[in-house]
Amino acid sequence: MLHVEATHLVKKAGEAVLLKGVSLRINKGESFLLIGPTGAGKTTLLRLLGLLNSSFKGELSIFGVDVISNQGKQLEIRRKMAFVQQKPVAFSCSVFDNVAYPLKWRKIPREEITDRVGEVLDLVGMKEYSNRNAKTLSGGETQRVAIARALVTRPEILLLDEPTANLDPNSAGRIEEVLTKVVQEHKTTLIMSTHDLVQAQRLAEVVGVMIDGKLVQTGTPQEVFHAPQNSQIARFIGFKLAEQDFNRIV
Amino acid sequence: MGELWQGIIRALELIVTFDPEVMAITFRSLGISTSACLIATLICLPLGSLIHFTNFKGKNLLVSLIQTFYSLPTVLVGLLVFILFSRAGPFGNLNLMFTPALMIIGQSLLVMPLMLGLIISALVSLDKTVADTAFSLGASRFQAGLLSLKEARYAVITSVIMGFGRAISEVGLAMMVGGNIRGFTRILTTAISLETSKGDIELSLALGFILLLISLAINVILSQLQRVEKSAAR
């Protein structure tokens, strides 16, 4: 079953063209990882797929619903998705209340909220921080709360914009484990951008390479990393992997 | 100088002995201005959120216009309210002229641009990620607006207090639509104006001190709020 179908998406910001005709298809339960250099348009694409921006050209269907002609259904669609932004923000309340917010918005009974929030905080290793003011957390802890806040809604599509960028290797590893578990257990569709190509190989069923506002190649990690379609992609992958190897050695 | 000194002593006497007239005028002032602020807040909170979260043509012009009205002369609002509510005006049949109710309406209109503009500014200065996060987690526009107002609460409260400060210190509008009727529509500012013209400096000074104390209290609350806001941001 097709969860996301985008055809020729074009997004402009003033004179700049951020997305230059991006088309993609993502199936239910698929892990689709976006890679590409900074400024390639990964965040812009994720924001469009997360329905955070409606001023674009092209066609976009989510869960088989054309989101342009069905503006009235956008809230219903958004409630089946969750998006963790690159620099997540903590609301000015406790960690528990932060994670409980999306459930309150959905009018879930209080007892169920308590159970689900506890369960998901345990999953991301933040249960002991439950009563702490979320504004006092470190960047990595805030990121984990943001992921918990997204997972608590049990989304059918989970969008993540470089979710492990602010985390130390241990926390990043834990988040990867959580994501893998959620995708396997709940058949969640995962759409995620990352700078970490090794992570992309570990998590992705399908990898999409974005360069200069275009989705230049999509395929399995094997196809993308071993048979890049052009020299631009090869250069990016080669340079990035060499950089990561260098960082690992240093 | 002697007269001023005598005036100050008499004024303090009137305050510490809880002079019935001084107290009545003070509580009437507080009642009218608080009611006006409450009405303005109830209108400005949803209206400010609506303007902030909706993209429409002329939005920047509207916000500029609202900001222009920050320093709207009180007598001009008084004149407008007078025309609307005088016997020959469109709302003349309501018989509200020279009543505290009309003073509340007038003061609400007076403080609304200031309150609205400051609420919009508070929402603009709030990290855009807050509203985006709310939307991305399934909040409706109303729920995202409510969360944003909660996140910007210190700035929002500041705007309400600023509005109250403007309402309690205005004189032109209260004089025009309230009529400064003793025991009915006489408030701190109109009483000071009248008593000074009559030469009752003691009473004027006493009322002036009270007005000053209210301003001081407003300032203390504002600076406390700013301190709390700064420590919350840390």
**If you write DSSP's letter for every residue of A32-73 in order, what string do you get?**
EEEE--TTSSHHHHHHHHTTS----EEEEEETTEETTTTGGG
pLDDT surpassing 90 at residue A43: yes
- Does any CB of chain A come closer than 8 Å to the CB of residue B127? yes
Which chain A residues contact residue B129 at CB under 8 A? Answer: 85, 87-89
Instruction: With CB atoms and an 8 Å threshold, state whether A89 touches B232.
Output: no
DSSP per-residue letters across B103-147: HHHHHHHHHHHHHHHHHHHHHHHS-HHHHHHHHHTT--HHHHHHH
Instruction: With CB atoms and an 8 Å threshold, state whether A102 touches B140.
Output: no
Nearest to A92 among B132, B140, B232 (CB): B232
Instruction: With CB atoms and an 8 Å threshold, state whether B136 touches A101.
Output: no
Residues 6+ apart with CB under 8 A from A13: none
pLDDT surpassing 60 at residue A205: yes
Domain assignments of chain B as residue spans, ordered by start = 32-196+217-233
- Does any CB of chain A come closer than 8 Å to the CB of residue B230? no
Per-residue burial over A148-175, b = 16 or more CB atoms within 10 Å of its CB, e = otherwise: bbbbbbebbbbbbbbbbbbbeeebbebb
Residues B67, A53, A102, A176, Cα dihedral to 10°: -130
Nearest C-alpha neighbor of B98 from the set B83, B110, B85: B85
Nearest to A105 among B130, B143, B232 (CB): B143
Section A121-134 average pLDDT: 94
What confidence tier does B6 reach under pLDDT thresholds 50, 70, 90? confident
Q: What is the pLDDT of residue A83?
A: 96
Nearest CA in chain A to B154: A92
Nearest to B135 among A78, A135, A153 (CB): A78
* Separation between Cα atoms, residue B144 and residue A122, nearest integer Å: 27
- Does any CB of chain B come closer than 8 Å to the CB of residue A75? yes
Q: Which has the higher per-residue pLDDT, B61 or B14?
A: B61
- Does any CB of chain A come closer than 8 Å to the CB of residue B150? yes
Q: What is the pLDDT of residue A240?
A: 64
Instruction: With CB atoms and an 8 Å threshold, state whether B132 touches A85.
Output: yes
Nearest to B137 among A82, A87, A135 (CB): A82
Nearest CA in chain B to A83: B136
Burial class (CB in 10 A: 0-12, 13-18, 19+), A247: exposed
Q: What is the pLDDT of residue A248?
A: 62
Q: What is the pLDDT of residue A1?
A: 83
pLDDT surpassing 90 at residue B68: yes
Q: What is the pLDDT of residue A237?
A: 86
Q: Which fold has domain B32-196+217-233?
A: MetI-like fold (1.10.3720)
Section A154-180 average pLDDT: 90
Q: What is the pLDDT of residue B232?
A: 63
* Separation between Cα atoms, residue B162 and residue A27, nearest integer Å: 54
* Separation between Cα atoms, residue A207 and residue A221, nearest integer Å: 6
Nearest to B132 among A52, A135, A150 (CB): A52
Section A144-149 average pLDDT: 94
Nearest to B137 among A87, A135, A153 (CB): A153
Q: pLDDT tens across A223-245, in order? A: 999 888 888 888 888 766 666 66
Instruction: With CB atoms and an 8 Å threshold, state whether B137 touches A150.
Output: yes
Q: Which has the higher per-residue pLDDT, A87 or A160?
A: A160
Nearest C-alpha neighbor of A89 from the set B190, B128, B7: B128
Residues 93-152 of A with CB under 8 A from B: 101-102, 105-106, 135, 146, 149-150
Q: What is the pLDDT of residue B7?
A: 75
What confidence tier does B44 reach under pLDDT thresholds 50, 70, 90? very high
pLDDT surpassing 70 at residue A41: yes
* Separation between Cα atoms, residue A150 and residue A178, nearest integer Å: 12
- Does any CB of chain B come closer than 8 Å to the CB of residue A50? yes
And the tokens for A39?
A: 């400024």
Q: Measured in whole angstroms, how far is the alpha carbon of residue A201 from the centre of its chain?
A: 16
pTM value is 0.84
